Amino acid sequence: MAHFPHAAPIYRTEHIRRIETIAATQPDPPPLMERAGLAAAERARELATSGRRVVVIAGPGNNGGDAFVVARHLKSWWFNVAVLFTGEPAKLSRDAAAAYEAWRAAGGAFITNVPTPRDCGLIVDGLFGIGLQRELTGRYAELVAWMNGSGCAVLALDLPSGLQSDTGRVLGCAVRATHTVTFIALKAGLLTLDGPDYCGDVSVATLGLDAAELVPPQGRVIGPQVLDNLPQRRRNTHKGDYGSAGIVGGASGMVGAALLAGRAALKTGTGRVYVGIASDHAPEVDVLQPELMLRAANDVLELEHLSCVAVGPGLGVSEGAHTLLTRAIGIKRPLVLDADALNLLAQENALRTALLFRTAPSLLTPHPAEAARLLATATADIQADRVAAALTIAEMYRSGVVLKGAGSVCAWPDGRWAVNTSGNPGMASAGMGDVLTGMIAALLSQGLDEVSALECAVYLHGAAADHAVRSGIGPVGLSASDVIESARALLNVERLRT
């Protein structure tokens, strides 16, 4: 997966279409298909194996038109190129038909059957682009299977065929590209759900357009520059300058969740961390982290000097847990709700109503199953459109939201959203969400606003996991505790660079 600049725009299909329409109505409209094909051909030239054939799969629409332009440029650069066209010339759009005729005029060759993989040095996937909405079957599915089984490098045009542009869903089957060159701007489907597993290394060809100038984006990338928001420390400071975080959770059998959140808050910079344990059999000290102040959950919620409160890790859904959550919602401090706090919120309208009337910021951190409970739907419905689900939760609960998962989506009640680009499969292990909750609490306690705190913590959480893997820890067997240690190291590396 490529690294993109922080705040790079991300668009849904309808907005990409709007950008294309605006560009086409300019006095001297830019030749977008020609520009797209040239940009992709330049990338293909870098990837193609010398002396071996480049096979271009051209679909029946404008993605196929882009593919014809790619093929024409590669042929002009003396590559051995063959095109397999799956459409009908008479049904092509004007631009795609012109690209088809230009390929023929250049003496371009067509093939009717796929060659053996040993004859290929590169495959260009120009089968379908952002307009695909139905599942791939029949001949198209066979071509996808051939590309995936070829063992060759595959360059996808705009996005891998079979991947839904807005959601990252696989529509029956999809090309597993090694590289993708996407046009105009990033699409959400490249960055979330199945997208990262199918798009390979992604590059953006803007085609000479300033997309953000034509259509201001609501979506954007959360990239490494978000760490620039981390607070700098003066020499003349004390622990009180870095806030006091209250973590509430840890019912019987789940105390470890609250301790993980507390340790994460401490090691990502909070001055003081109070862990309110809901269990009647709570430990008096965390022997691995004695700096944490362990108290009864109710006692922590009575503290008046807290900078923020995080509720939910290991909380349970008992009557006592409900009482704790009710009290926490009433505290006029930034509030982070995770895990069982979200499950309780989903069960009772009174809690939701209380949340709506809060004047301090509220942040919700659901995984897909918790998000489904918040919206009274199925997990599959959440995953079917993660951006839409996150935005709906943000609006319904008047809160900032991070919908966790591959390409975590942050969303806000005003319609803004962002997709995180850090993280790896090692994070699919117990306690990772508790650690994220502690990190968010830490950054809120140190004075970051709710947007910066949420997005910085989400990126840091994934970046710490990536840092751990680079250091030889994981991805298999990567633990939440490993991520805490890695986050501390990464935070201090970032400070040394500034």
- Asked whether this chain's domains 9-217 and 225-497 adopt the same fold, the reply is no
Q: Is 157 helix (H, G, I), strand (E, B) or coil?
A: strand
Task: Give the pLDDT score at 497.
Answer: 47
With vertex at residue 193, the alpha carbon angle to CA 187 and CA 194, rounded to the nearest 5 degrees, is 90
Element of type H or E holding 155: strand 154-157
Element of type H or E holding 147: helix 138-149
Task: Give the pLDDT score at 498.
Answer: 38
* Residue (of 140, 191, 131, 143) closest to 167 by Cα position: 191
Identify the DSSP state of 377.
S
- Each residue of 425-482: pLDDT tens digit? 999 999 999 999 999 999 999 999 999 999 999 999 999 999 999 999 999 999 999 9
- Each residue of 134-155: pLDDT tens digit? 999 999 999 999 999 999 999 9
Distance CA 38, CA 41 (A): 5
Q: Please state the φ and ψ torsions of residue 176, each to the nearest 5 degrees.
A: -95, 90
Identify the DSSP state of 429.
S
Q: Has residue 232 got a pLDDT over 90?
A: no
CA atoms within 13 A on the CB side of 432: 22
More confident of the two residues 174 and 284? 174
Q: Domain map of the chain by residue range? A: 9-217, 225-497
* Residue (of 449, 360, 351) closest to 396 by Cα position: 351
In this structure, the strands spanning 293-296 and 272-277 are parallel
Contact 182, 205 (CB under 8 A): yes
Identify the DSSP state of 106.
T
In CATH terms, the superfamily for domain 9-217 is: YjeF N-terminal domain (3.40.50.10260)
Q: Has residue 276 got a pLDDT over 60?
A: yes
Give residue 494's pLDDT band: very low, low, confident or very high (50, 70, 90). low
Query: Cβ contacts of residue 235 below 8 Å, gap of 6+?
Result: none
Distance CA 280, CA 27 (A): 73
Once rounded to an integer, what is the mean pLDDT over residues 379-403? Answer: 98
Task: Give the pLDDT score at 481.
Answer: 97
Once rounded to an integer, what is the mean pLDDT over residues 232-255? Answer: 94
Q: How many helices (H) and strands (E) does the chain have?
A: 19, 19
* Residue (of 72, 67, 64, 61) closest to 105 by Cα position: 72
Look up the CATH number of domain 225-497.
3.40.1190.20
Give residue 2's pLDDT band: very low, low, confident or very high (50, 70, 90). low
Longest Cα–Cα distance of the chain, Å, equals 81
Q: Has residue 215 got a pLDDT over 60?
A: yes
Q: How far is CA 371 from CA 58, 306, 341, 403, 420, in A?
A: 39, 28, 12, 7, 18
Task: Give the pLDDT score at 394.
Answer: 98
Distance CA 223, CA 242 (A): 25
Contact 190, 180 (CB under 8 A): yes
Distance CA 379, CA 382 (A): 5
Q: Has residue 1 got a pLDDT over 50?
A: no
Neighbours of 285 (CB within 10 A): 11
Query: Concatenated DSSP letters for 45-71?
Result: HHHSPTTSEEEEEE-SSHHHHHHHHHH
Contact 211, 184 (CB under 8 A): yes
Distance CA 366, CA 374 (A): 9
Q: Is 249 helix (H, G, I), strand (E, B) or coil?
A: strand
> What percent of the chain clears pLDDT 90, i.e. is strictly above it?
91
Task: Give the pLDDT score at 495.
Answer: 52
- Each residue of 391-402: pLDDT tens digit? 999 999 999 999
- Each residue of 36-67: pLDDT tens digit? 999 999 999 999 987 789 999 999 999 999 99
Q: Has residue 387 got a pLDDT over 70?
A: yes
Q: Has residue 304 got a pLDDT over 80?
A: yes
Task: Give the pLDDT score at 85.
Answer: 98
Return the residue matching tokens 């507390």: 262
Distance CA 351, CA 182 (A): 43
- Each residue of 187-197: pLDDT tens digit? 999 999 999 99
Distance CA 46, CA 179 (A): 11
Task: Give the pLDDT score at 281.
Answer: 84
* Residue (of 492, 224, 303, 64) closest to 293 by Cα position: 303
Q: Is 242 helix (H, G, I), strand (E, B) or coil?
A: helix
Contact 425, 398 (CB under 8 A): no
* Residue (of 157, 134, 154) closest to 146 by Cα position: 154
What percentage of the chain's residues is helix, strand, coil (to nearest 5)? 45, 15, 40
Distance CA 465, CA 427 (A): 7
The amino acid at 423 = G
* Residue (of 205, 182, 160, 188) closest to 419 by Cα position: 188
Neighbours of 358 (CB within 10 A): 17
Once rounded to an integer, what is the mean pLDDT over residues 262-283? Answer: 95
Query: Cβ contacts of residue 353 below 8 Å, gap of 6+?
Result: none
Distance CA 259, CA 275 (A): 7
